[in-house]
C-alpha cells in the first residue's frame, strides 16, 4: 500500500469518529426532547459510524499497515430544532462523502484495487446516508417544530421505518 493512501485513510478516520460522537450527542439531545424513536435511530447512526471506522481500520490491518486512532473534540450538544440538527448531520455526511471520493481517486491514481473495492461499498453507503438525511429534513420541515407531525416521524423511526432508506420498498 502506498503511504499516501495509508495516510489518507488514517486522516479519514477522524471524520468517522467525529460523526459517531456527533450522532451520539444528537441522540442525547433528542432523548432530552422526548423523541425516543428519533434518539434510538440516531444512536444506531452513531454505532454505524463506529462500524465504518472499524472497516477502515480492518482494511489497514489486513494490509499490514498501522491504523492511527484520532483524537476528536467535544461534539455540539445543543440544537435549535430537529431540522437544524439534521441539517448539521447532512453537512457531516457530505464531508464524509467528499473524503471518500478523494480516497477513491487517490487509490485509483496509485492502482490500489483493494482500496478501490473497499471504498466502493462506502460510496454506495454515502449515497443512502445523504438521501436519508435529506428526506428527514424534508419531512421535519413539513411537520414543523412540534406537534403531531414530529411525533409521527418519531414513531416511524422507533418502528424501524427510515424515510429515504434504499432497502425500503420504493425507497
pLDDT over 70 percentage in the chain: 96
pLDDT one-digit tens code per residue, 78-115: 999 999 999 999 999 999 999 999 999 999 999 999 99
pLDDT at 168 > cutoff 80: no
pLDDT at 167 > cutoff 80: no
pLDDT at 10 > cutoff 90: yes
pTM, two decimals, is 0.91
Question: How far apart, in whole angstroms, are the C-alpha atoms of residue 166 and residue 171?
Answer: 5
Whole-angstrom distance between the N-terminal and C-terminal Cα of the chain? 37
At residue 171, the pLDDT reads: 38
Question: How far apart, in whole angstroms, are the C-alpha atoms of residue 25 and residue 68?
Answer: 23
Amino acid at each position: 500500500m502506498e503511504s499516501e493512501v495509508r495516510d489518507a485513510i488514517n486522516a479519514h478516520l477522524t471524520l468517522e469518529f467525529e460523526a459517531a460522537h456527533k450522532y451520539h450527542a444528537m441522540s442525547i439531545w433528542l432523548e432530552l426532547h422526548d423523541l425516543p424513536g428519533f434518539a434510538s435511530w440516531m444512536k444506531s447512526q452513531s454505532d454505524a459510524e463506529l462500524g465504518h471506522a472499524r472497516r477502515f481500520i480492518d482494511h489497514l490491518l489486513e494490509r499490514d499497515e498501522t491504523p492511527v486512532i484520532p483524537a476528536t473534540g467535544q461534539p455540539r450538544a445543543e440544537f435549535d430544532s430537529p431540522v437544524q440538527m439534521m441539517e448539521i448531520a447532512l453537512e457531516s455526511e457530505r464531508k464524509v462523502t467528499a473524503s471518500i471520493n478523494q480516497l477513491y481517486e487517490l487509490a485509483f491514481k496509485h492502482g490500489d484495487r483493494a482500496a478501490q473495492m473497499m471504498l466502493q461499498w462506502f460510496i454506495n453507503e454515502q449515497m443512502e446516508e445523504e438521501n436519508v438525511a435529506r428526506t428527514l429534513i424534508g419531512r421535519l420541515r413539513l411537520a414543523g417544530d412540534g406537534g403531531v407531525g414530529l411525533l409521527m416521524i418519531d414513531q416511524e423511526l422507533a418502528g424501524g421505518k427510515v424515510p429515504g432508506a434504499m432497502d425500503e420498498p420504493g425507497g
